[in-house]
A and B are shown apart, each in its own frame.
Chain A
């Protein structure tokens, strides 16, 4: 009802510049008529002066939509498209900080192709993203299922789960930095006092230790986001489905596999897309914990890009590294999004 009223009001507004039944007709019947309306007025329009063309643009209902979209387009271009294209453009130049560069084609990319540190960062980024995302999903889903059960102090526990997500990344990274400190680590200290180890664990000084340590910190931080979102999804599942399944004698696993999981898939798709994107582009945690060390063993593409572009001043090369992230990101989005959606259709779920 409200929608119809709105449409009527819109139409009455549109009537002011409207000149004939043809216009009213195209508006009523949608886009098929749009082209013909343009054709009809287009030919005589060419002979008219610019002023009347402008007047027509102002009045034309086709263009009206465009005018309404213009502010949004402006914001998107200014804050999304422009920085993105500037970044891609910089990657084809030898720009340095404080000095404009010249176009050098693919040289930055050729240089990176032979750069072992760059490939280490690609490997690290993939390892970091895959392992951390999988762990976050597993733990997050488990927590969500647990929190969906009848627990004492449910609200309080749910709030507590959110804490790692609320703490600013840099703060939690600094806390982890102390936990992982090579001399003053509380973990090393406790284990030493228990007599389980004789020397401190070199958490961030050994390449593989450092990788697992940063992944652990990322998982710790990322789990609440996934757990709470999935919990919200779980609560939309109608209890009557579970009741029916229980009556049919379904085991808990069957109930999860055939009710919870299919109904949760759309949310999983969204949440995992975001999770993969955030993990892939993570910067703060690594920068605060290791700065890409030891000996570049934990550099992600984002941190390496920052190191080369801002710290060392090679803006062009840094831009090339971040541009190289785009294909990976698109692939990640593709897998997370389409992969999960298709499965949903295959199982015959409706599209609501």
Chain B
């Protein structure tokens, strides 16, 4: 086969619209047509979070291989667990070498914004091509007018429940308010089919559900001017609610990390928790009886009357000291291009939810109705900053588990109401000074 430049561009345009049969040929054409030209023989060191869904990782590595073949770049992928990824990225940011791309959690780029490559052109290109970014994408990716990270996908932290246990507890459908939710947890406990939500330093699970708990009562760490307002009656109500919930949980939630509830749910010991879709995906393979008997629901709406969920966005950043900035940009654009992105989030089976409008139509969201709630995760999520601006300070506050520790301190009885709030307020004020 003898391609010339012109025919490749044409082919690329045609393939871009339809489904591609051969990822590699398509990738070559894409590389020719893309506005981002990788440097010759570019070497990219990429660090990503370690997958929870195996098929997603397989598909991701296919995409990496296609990009390598098309551009001659070499991408070295390292996988790190949720908890280890951020410290490693921080060390690289501080020393200025070792990695070019990091695909991390939450607001990682905002932890060291001045070390992030300006990706405004990539985001503009992608937004125009793929049906526009959801508003939360801008909140996560932008600092001022500059995009310092590209939100690739989000993992939803939604309710995972066992259908039979919920029905036995007297609920036909999953409760939509706080009173109902507490009733359900109490009834589950009484039936010895308990619920459990992480109170430990679990970067994903504990932060998502406890921020929801705080916000759904109207409590916030800071207001829109980044003034610390955690010491409020709303926060106190949220804490009291958490204290009422805690004794209904399975023992050990204060020591849980991100994988604890997955293990317990799949084993059939846990009957309600907040998590990504990974429990369902694992259960389908390892314990089909549990998979058949479980479903997902949005988190209940609290006294504030509107959804206040926090999900787990995965944002990719490129370091400003990379020697191959164009290759990094090209790779990000390539990942989010429809022929790569669609099969990839398909393989993730609902674990990755998109930030670009076009991908609402991906069949993964409708093929199995149990995955449908996860489609809207990126549309529903707030940012970890709550009302405030997402930046270095908010990133620091969530990384230091201020909200999680406040709830855990009170719920486990280690501190009284005033002490728990005062502790969080003191720490927050130091970060937001």
Q: Which residues of A contact B (CB under 8 A)?
A: 96-99, 111, 114-117, 181-184, 199-200, 202-207, 210, 290-297, 306-308, 310-315
Most A C-beta atoms less than 10 A away, residue of B115, B414, B426: B414
Since A99-B114, A117-B423, A210-B255 are in contact, a sample of 6 more A-B pairs with Cβ atoms closer than 8 Å, ordered by chain A residue number, is A199-B251, A202-B255, A292-B201, A296-B405, A308-B400, A315-B94
A291 contacts B257, C-beta separation under 8 Å: yes
A96 contacts B255, C-beta separation under 8 Å: no
A-B CB contact pairs (8 Å), 22 listed: A96-B392, A97-B94, A97-B112, A182-B251, A182-B252, A182-B253, A183-B267, A205-B251, A205-B256, A207-B414, A210-B255, A291-B83, A291-B201, A293-B201, A294-B200, A295-B412, A310-B90, A311-B87, A311-B400, A313-B395, A313-B396, A314-B396
Q: Which residues of A contact B229 (CB under 8 A)?
A: none
B255 contacts A98, C-beta separation under 8 Å: no
Across the A-B interface, give the 6 residue pairs with the lowest CB-CB distance, nearest first: A182-B252, A98-B112, A294-B254, A312-B400, A204-B255, A205-B252
A200 touches which of B86, B251, B430 (Cβ 8 Å) = B251
Q: Which residues of B contact A296 (CB under 8 A)?
A: 405
C-alpha spacing A293/B253, complex, angstroms: 11
Q: For the side of the interface on B, what is the size category?
A: 35 or more
Closest Cβ of chain B: how far from A46's Cβ, in Å?
Answer: 46
B254 touches which of A115, A200, A295, A306 (Cβ 8 Å) = A295
Most A C-beta atoms less than 10 A away, residue of B112, B251, B255: B255
State which residues 246-301 of B face A: CB under 8 Å.
Answer: 250-257, 260, 263-264, 267, 269-270
Q: Which residues of A contact B111 (CB under 8 A)?
A: 97-98, 313
Residue of A nearest to B423 (CB): A116
Closest Cβ of chain B: how far from A283's Cβ, in Å?
Answer: 13
Q: Which residues of A contact B257 (CB under 8 A)?
A: 291
Residue of A nearest to B270 (CB): A183
- Judge if B93 is at the interface, Cβ distance under 8 Å: yes
C-alpha spacing A199/B396, complex, angstroms: 38
Q: Using A98-B115, A297-B414 as known contacts, say yes or no to A184 and B200 having CB atoms under 8 A apart.
A: no
A295 contacts B114, C-beta separation under 8 Å: no
B94 contacts A98, C-beta separation under 8 Å: yes
A294 contacts B255, C-beta separation under 8 Å: yes
- Judge if B244 is at the interface, Cβ distance under 8 Å: no
Most A C-beta atoms less than 10 A away, residue of B90, B111, B426: B90
What 0/1 readout, one digit per residue, does chain B (375-401) give for beta carbons within 8 Å of chain A?
000000000000000001001100110
B430 contacts A111, C-beta separation under 8 Å: yes
A291 touches which of B200, B253, B269, B431 (Cβ 8 Å) = B200
Q: Which residues of A contact B408 (CB under 8 A)?
A: 293-295
B200 contacts A293, C-beta separation under 8 Å: yes
Residue of B nearest to A287 (CB): B83
Residue of B nearest to A307 (CB): B400
A295 contacts B414, C-beta separation under 8 Å: yes
A182 contacts B256, C-beta separation under 8 Å: yes
Closest Cβ of chain A: how far from B273's Cβ, in Å?
Answer: 12
Q: Which residues of B contact A292 (CB under 8 A)?
A: 201
Q: Which residues of B contact A115 (CB under 8 A)?
A: 426
- Judge if B371 is at the interface, Cβ distance under 8 Å: no
Closest Cβ of chain B: how far from A230's Cβ, in Å?
Answer: 35
State which residues 93-113 of B face A: CB under 8 Å.
Answer: 93-94, 111-112
B399 touches which of A98, A99, A297, A312 (Cβ 8 Å) = A312
- Judge if B235 is at the interface, Cβ distance under 8 Å: no
C-alpha spacing A114/B269, complex, angstroms: 41
Q: Which residues of A contact B254 (CB under 8 A)?
A: 205-206, 293-295
A97 contacts B90, C-beta separation under 8 Å: yes
B260 contacts A183, C-beta separation under 8 Å: yes
C-alpha spacing A204/B199, complex, angstroms: 12
- Judge if B14 is at the interface, Cβ distance under 8 Å: no
Residue of B nearest to A183 (CB): B264
A205 contacts B112, C-beta separation under 8 Å: no
Closest Cβ of chain B: how far from A215's Cβ, in Å?
Answer: 16
C-alpha spacing A238/B287, complex, angstroms: 64
Q: Which residues of A contact B19 (CB under 8 A)?
A: none
Residue of B nearest to A297 (CB): B414
State which residues 186-216 of B face A: CB under 8 Å.
Answer: 199-201
C-alpha spacing A111/B400, complex, angstroms: 16
